[in-house]
Every structure is written in C-alpha cells, then in structure tokens.
Amino acid sequence: MVVLLLVASMLVGCAPGRRAPEPVDLADLVADPDRYLGEVVIVEGVVRAHDDPAHAWIEDEVPHRVGLEPLAAVDDLLGQVVRVVGRFDVVDEGGRVLEVEQVQVVGESPRA
C-alpha cells in the first residue's frame, strides 16, 4: 500500500507529504501572508526590478508586490507577464518573497 501511494504521488508530480501548489492572487498574499507562509503557491503578474540593491518582484495592476528570489530566475523576464511557482515566505520586517521553483512567460505587460 505504501509503495502504491508513493507511485501515485510521483505520477501527480508531488513528493510524499507535499501538497500540490495552490493558485493564489497577489492581493491574497499581501492581505493574509500568514495563511500562505511556507506554502508552495502559483501566482501571476508582471516582473519588475530595481538595480540598487539588485532585486526583482512580481506585481499586479494595483500593485500588490511580492519579491522573487533568486534574481537570476527572472532577470531576463523584466516587463513580462509570468506565472511563478514558488515557496512563499515573509522576511525582514514584513517583506514578502517567493523562492522561485518554476517560471512560465504568459504574456507581455501592456505598460512594459
């Protein structure tokens, strides 16, 4: 039975004990970060960045913003609309960040 569960979890792309990524709006991550702390989530938005110090984030039209790490995962995607899968965390006095696991370009920002 344990072997069957292990095989089934691999077939659906999840390691044992790990929940499937949950689609979440950036607004929800900003409004209730504790709810998603440590969870792997899926979010969509536009990649933006700043040079000094170098960092990147994803934002929606409001803008609700969540940092993206590592920078190298998105540094060539500035201005693109992306879907990001990543583990959500809150660091440094309320800073929201996603540790990027996957990124997929889904479009180009109208205000790129």
66, 58 in Cβ contact below 8 A? yes
**Smallest Cα–Cα separation from 21: which of 85, 65, 110?**
85
Reported as a pLDDT band with limits 50, 70 and 90, residue 22 is confident
Q: Domain for residue 9, yes or no?
A: no
Q: Name the residue range of residue 87's domain.
A: 19-108
> Whole-prediction pTM value?
0.78
User: How many separate domains does the chain show?
Assistant: 1
Burial class (CB in 10 A: 0-12, 13-18, 19+), 45: buried
Mean pLDDT of the chain: 84
Q: Domain for residue 64, yes or no?
A: yes
Which single residue is written with the structure tokens 């696991």?
Answer: 101
Reported as a pLDDT band with limits 50, 70 and 90, residue 31 is very high
CATH code, domain with 78: 2.40.50.140
